[in-house]
Amino acid sequence: MPLLEVKNLKVYFPIMGGVIRHKIGEVKAVDDVSFAIEPGETVGLVGESGSGKTTIGRAILRLLEPTAGEVRFDGHDITHASERELRPLRKQMQMVFQDPFGSLNPRMTIASIVGEAMKIHFRQMDRNARRDRIAELLRRVGLKPEHMNRYPHEFSGGQRQRIGIARALAVEPKFIVCDEPVSALDVSVQAAIINLLQDLQEQYRLTYLFIAHDLAVVEHISDRVLVMTQGKIVEAASSEEIYERPQHPYTQKLIAAVPKAF
Amino acid sequence: MENTNQTLLDVRDLRISFFTDEGEVRAVDGISFSMKPGETLAVVGESGSGKSVTAMALTRLVPSPPARYLGGEIIFKGRDTLKLSPEELRRVRGAQISYIFQEPSTSLNPVFQIRSQIAEAIELHRRDVKDVDAEAERLLTLVGIRDARLRMGDYPHQLSGGMQQRVMIAMALACNPSLLVADEPTTALDVTIQAQIMELLKELKQKLGMAIMLITHNFSIVADIADNIAVMFRGKIVEYGPTQRVLHEPQHPYTKALLECIPRLGAHKHRLKTINHAEIEAALGR
Amino acid sequence: MTATAANSAALAAKPQTLWSTAWRQFRRNRLAAACLWIIVIYVGIWLYAESVYWTAYLRDVVPSYKVTDFDARNAAPSLRHWLGTDFTGRDNVAQLIQGVRIAFEIAILSSAILIPLGFLLGALAGYFGRWVDNAIIWLYSVVDSVPSILSIISISYVVGRGMKGIVIGMGLVAWVGLCRLIRGEYLKHKQRAYVAAARALGAGHLTVMLRHIAPNVLHIVIITFTLLFPRFILTEVILSYLGVGIANEPSWGVMINDAKQRLWLGVWWELGGATAAMFFLVLALNIVGDALRDALDPKLKTAEGSAT
C-alpha cells in the first residue's frame, strides 16, 4: 500500500477584483494531479517557479485547502479531516522549507524552535528529557548542542537549513516534504544538505517528496521523478529513464538546461 | 607599469576589512588579478568568500564604514579607482563599469515603467543620444525581449524573473560599459531561465566585445563563458588561471572540492562529495 | 559527515538576541541616549509626585500642592517659589510636578486600553483576513472618519468628564493607528515560511498568532507607545484648554488654560513653566521614538528572507 496517495488533486486560487472585490477568475495552480509514493521511497518533483510544485507540497500537508481531489496518507483520507483529526497525522508528515531565513522564527531560540514539536506531540516529556532530545537532534543534523540557546540570525544558510531539518525530525515523522531545501544554498553547502537528507532517510526509514527546479539535484536523490509544468504532471518515470529517455518536450528542455559536464 | 592598452583592469594586493563590534573581518585579503578588454573572468567562491565585496570595490561601492580599504590598487584604464574623487568615480560607475545583481525583482523600481528606468540610465551617461525611446527599444531587443516597444510600458511586476533580469542587463548596457560585473546573475532564477541568461551574456560578449566579470558560487555555469577563473576562499584567491586548466587540472584542494560537490545528471553516484573547510584552512596554513 | 565544516563558521561568544543588537544600535545614537535620560528623570519625578499624592490621600489631608496662600497670589519666582505662585497662591513647581503625574497616568492608562485593543484587532484582521479583516477595517474606518477630538469629547460626556473621560476617550479612539500597523505586519508575517512550519507541526491558530508572530511585531507596540505618549499629553492640554479636561487636579493643560488669563498681567512664569515641562518631555519622547524605530526596524529586515 502506498504511504501517500494523491488522486485528482486540484488547487485553484481565486483572482479577486472589481470595486466590491468579488471573484473574477481563478488560477489553476494544481490542475488534476495524481501520484503515489511508496514507503521508503524518494519521489522528486521538478518544475519551474509557478508550475504549482510548492502548492502540491503544501496541499498534501493541508497548509492549503485543496479545491478538489483526494489526499490519502497511510490509508486515511486527510482531504476533509478537521484540524483536530489532523493533529496526530502532523506527527507523521513534516516539511522542510526552501527559505532558510524566513522559515525560522527570528525571535525564538533554536531550542524552542526544535522543541516546539515535542510540546505539541509529546506532552508527557519533561523539561530535561526535552533538552536531551533537542541536543540529540541537533547532533544528528550536524550542529553543536551547545548552540541551542542561539537565535537563527547567528547561523549561516546551511546551518539554518539543518535547524529546519531537526525541527521536522523532532516529531519522528514517516514522511517529509522537502520543498526546494537546497535551492537557496551554495553548491558546496547543497551537497552537504543532500547527503544529510540521504543519511537520515537510511537511518529513520523516511519517505521523501523532494521538490526542486534543478533536475540534476532531483535526479541524484530520487528514485522516481515527476515533471510538472503549468499545474499538470507531464511525465513520471524512474530517475534513470527521465535522464536517458525523456519523453515530454518540457523534460527535454529541462535536461538541456542543465550545464553539461566539463 | 604595464601598457594600459593591454590591460583593462589590474587589481593588485587589494585588502578590505569590515570593522564590527566583534572585531575585524578580513573580507578581501590581499588579492591580485587582471583583465584584458573583452575578457571574461569568473570569480568563483562560496558566500562569505569575499567575491561580491571584490566586485563592489571596483567602483568603491562597499560602504565605508563599516568597510575599510586597507591597501592595494585597482587600476582601471590606467587610473586607480581607489584614488578617484567622488565626481570622477561617478563617471566610472555605470558609464564604464556597470553591474547586474542577483535579485532582479528588488533591483528594479516597482513604481516606474521599464521605459523610464532604461531612459534614465541612458540620459545619465549619454547626453548625445537624441531619441531615447528608440535607443531603449534597441537595447531591449538586444537583450532578447520580443515586442520591445510594447514591453516598455510594462511595470517590473508584470515581467517574469528572467525578463526582469534581461531588463537589468539592458540597463547595464545602456552606457556601453567596457566592463560588466554580473554578481550571481542567475542564482535567483529557474534552471531553464538560468541557461537562457547565460546564453544571452555569451552572445552579448561576442557582439559588443565588453569584458565581463562573472561572480558565482556555481562552477557549472562558468565553463562555457569564462576565459579565466579565479577561485576565492576566505578573502584570498587560491587558484587563478585559464578556464580549461582550472576545470580539468585543478591544483588547489579547494577548487577540486568545489568541482566535485556539484551533482551531475546521469552520474548515479550514491553520495556527493562535500567540502571539509577545516582541512582546507589547514592546507592554507592558518 | 561535514558536521564540523558546517560549524566552522564562527559564532559570537555570547548568544545575541535581536533585542540586544537593537539596544546596542540605539545607544550609538548619542542624542537619543541623552533623551532617554531625560525620560528617566521624568519618571523619577512622576514616582515622587505619586508618593506626594498618595501620602496626602491616605492621611486624608489636603496635599501640599493644593495648599492655597492668598497673601502670595501670582508671586514672582523667588527662592521659596522657584516658578512663583498661581492665582490662589499655590506653588507652581509643586503643581508642575503633579502635572507630570497626570501626564503619565493618562498616557499609561490610555495605552492600557488602546494597546490590547489595537493589537488584538490588528492581529485578528491581518491573520484571518476575509470577513474578519473586512469587519475590522470597516470598524476602524468609521472611528477614524470622525475627528478624534470630537469623539473624545463625546465619549467623555458619556462616561464622565475628567481623567476617566479622557483616558477612556483616548483609549477608544487612538487604537486605529496601531491596529493598522499591526494588521500590516501580520499580513506580512502570515506569509512567512516559519508560520507554515508551525502550522505543519500542528500548532493552532491562537498559538501561531500569539506565540510565533506576536514577538516579531512587538517592537511596533513599543515604538507606537513612545510616539503616542506625546500625543496623549498634547490632547490632554487641548481638552483642558477647551474646558472639558481634568478638573480639580493640576494638569499641564489646566495650568496653561489658567495661566493664559493672567499673561497680560505680566505673569509669564506659570505658562512658561508648564510649557517647558511639556516641551522637554514631548521632545525627548519623539527623539527616543524615532531612534527606537531606526534601531528595531532594520534589524528585522536582516532577519527577513526572500518570500517563498
Mean pLDDT of C279-305: 73
Say yes or no for a CB contact (<8 Å) between C12 and B274.
no
Do residues B166 and B108 touch, judged by C-beta distance below 8 A? no
Is the pLDDT score of A136 beyond 90?
Answer: yes
Q: Residue C169 burial (CB < 10 Å; 0-12/13-18/19+)?
A: buried
Across the strands, what pairs with B43?
B215, B230
List of chains touching B (3+ CB pairs within 8 A): A, C
The residue assigned the cell 510594447 is B150
- Sign of the C-alpha dihedral, residues B147, B150, B153, B154? negative
C-beta separation of A164 from A96 below 8 A:
yes
In which order are the strands placed within the sheet that holds A207-212? A93-96, A175-179, A207-212, A42-46, A224-229, A232-238
CB C43 within 8 A of CB C97: no
Among all residues of chain C, which has the CA nearest to that of A91?
C201
Q: What is the pLDDT of residues B180-200, one digit of tens each?
A: 999 988 887 888 888 888 888
Of the candidates A90, A162, A196, the beta carbon closest to that of C201 is on: A90
Q: Helix, strand or coil for residue A202?
A: helix
Q: What is the pLDDT of residue B43?
A: 94
Is the CB of B157 inside 8 Å of chain C's CB atoms?
Answer: no
Which range (B149-163, B198-212, B259-273) has the least confidence?
B259-273
pLDDT at C69 over 80: no
Label residue B94 by pLDDT band (50, 70, 90): confident
CB contact under 8 A, A187 and B217: yes
Angle between helices B132-142 and B114-125 (to 10 degrees): 110
Answer yes or no: do C5 and B103 touch at CB < 8 A.
Answer: no
Residues A108, C212: C-beta atoms closer than 8 Å: yes
Band the pLDDT of B18: cuts 50, 70, 90: confident
Q: Which of C26, C304, C306 best tests the B interface by mutation, with the highest count of B CBs <10 A?
A: C306
Q: What does residue B259 show for φ and ψ, rounded to 5 degrees?
A: -70, -35
Residue B250 has pLDDT above 50, yes or no: yes
Tell me if chain C has a CB within 8 Å of the CB of A52. no
Sheet holding B179-183, edge to edge: B97-100, B179-183, B211-216, B40-44, B228-233, B236-242
How many C-beta atoms surround the C-beta of residue B58 within 10 A?
A: 22
- Lowest mean pLDDT, pick from A25-34, A191-200, B15-24: B15-24
Q: Is the pLDDT of residue A161 over 70?
A: yes
Taking the CA of residue B191 and the nearest CA in chain C, the distance in Å comes to: 17
Measured between beta carbons, which residues in chain C are less than 8 angstroms from residue A158? 6
pLDDT band at C137 (very low <50, low <70, confident <90, very high): very high
pLDDT band of A256, cuts 50, 70, 90 = confident
Contact residues on chain B for A240, CB-CB shorter than 8 A:
268
Residue C183's pLDDT band, with cuts at 50, 70 and 90, is: very high
C188, C201, C301: which to substitute to probe chain A, counting the most A Cβ within 10 Å? Answer: C201
| CB neighbours of residue C279 within 10 Å | 10
Distance of alpha carbon B73 from alpha carbon B75, whole angstroms: 6
What secondary structure letter does DSSP report for C66? G
Name the phi and psi angles at A131, rounded to 5: -60, -45
Question: ipTM of the predicted structure?
Answer: 0.83
In whole angstroms, give the CA distance from residue A169 to residue A151: 19
Residue A167 has its nearest CB partner, among C2, C197, C202, at C197
- Predicted local confidence at residue A262, as pLDDT: 60
Residue-wise pLDDT tens digits, A178-194: 999 988 888 888 889 99
Rounded to two decimals, the pTM is: 0.82
* pLDDT band at C12; cut points 50, 70, 90: low
Q: What is the C-alpha to C-alpha distance for residues A219 and A248, in angstroms, rounded to an integer?
A: 16
Asked if A154 and C201 come within 8 Å (Cβ–Cβ), the reply is no
In the sheet that holds B23-35, the strands lie side by side as B23-35, B9-20, B67-76, B79-80
pLDDT greater at residue B151 or residue C138: C138
Output B87 or C10, whichever has higher pLDDT. B87
Contacts of C135 (CB under 8 A, 6+ apart): none
- Angle, CA of B212, B214 and B217, to the nearest 5°: 175
Contact with chain A for residue B224, Cβ under 8 A: yes
| Cα C47–chain centre separation | 17
- Which among B17-21, B52-56, C17-21 has the top mean pLDDT? B52-56
The residue in chain A having the minimum alpha-carbon distance to the alpha carbon of residue B246 is A262
Taking CB atoms within 8 Å and a gap of at least 24, the contacts of A185-188 are A185/A100, A185/A157, A185/A158, A185/A161, A186/A157, A186/A158, A186/B46, A186/B47, A186/B217, A186/B218, A187/B217, A187/B218, A187/B219, A187/B220, A187/B258, A187/B261, A187/B262, A188/B46, A188/B217, A188/B257, A188/B258, A188/B261, A188/B274, A188/B275
Q: Is C100 helix (H, G, I), strand (E, B) or coil?
A: helix
Among candidates B72, B193, B93, which has minimal Cα distance to B144? B193
Angle between helices C148-159 and C163-173 (to 10 degrees): 130
Chain C residues within an 8 Å CB radius of A87: 202
Cβ partners under 8 Å of residue A181, min gap 6: A96, A97, A98, A161, A164, A165, A193, A197, A210
Per-residue burial over C209-222, b = 16 or more CB atoms within 10 Å of its CB, e = otherwise: bebbbbebbbbbbe
Query: Mean per-residue pLDDT for B102-125?
Result: 83
User: Is it the case that residue C308 has pLDDT exceeding 70?
Assistant: no
Mutant choice from A195, A220, A250, A254 vs B, greatest count of B C-beta within 10 A: A220
- A191 CB burial (10 A radius; 0-12, 13-18, 19+): buried
What per-residue confidence (pLDDT) applies to C208?
Answer: 92
What pLDDT, on a 0 to 100 scale, did the predictor assign at position C14?
67
In the predicted structure, residue B278 carries a pLDDT above the cut 80 = no
Q: pLDDT per residue over A8-51, tens digit each?
A: 999 998 887 777 777 778 888 899 999 999 999 999 999 887 78
Contact (CB<8Å) A151/C15: yes
pLDDT at C307 over 60: no
Of B21, B277, B278, nearest to C24 by CB-CB distance is: B21
Of A194, A253, A261, the CB nearest to B264: A261
- DSSP letters spanning C138-193: HHHHHHHHS-HHHHHHHHHHHH-SSHHHHHHHHHHHTHHHHHHHHHHHHHHHHTSH
Please name the chains neighbouring A, where neighbouring means 3+ C-beta pairs under 8 angstroms: B, C
Contact criterion met (CB < 8 Å) for B191 and A213: yes
pLDDT at C4 over 70: no
Mean pLDDT confidence for A185-213: 91
Do the beta carbons of residue A213 and residue A197 sit within 8 Å?
no
CA distance A239 to A220: 8
Report the range of poorest mean pLDDT among A203-207, B147-151, B167-171.
B147-151
Q: Could you give the CA distance from residue A158 to residue A188 in angstroms, rounded to a whole number?
A: 10
Classify residue B43 as exposed, middle or buried by CB count within 10 Å of its CB (0-12, 13-18, 19+): buried
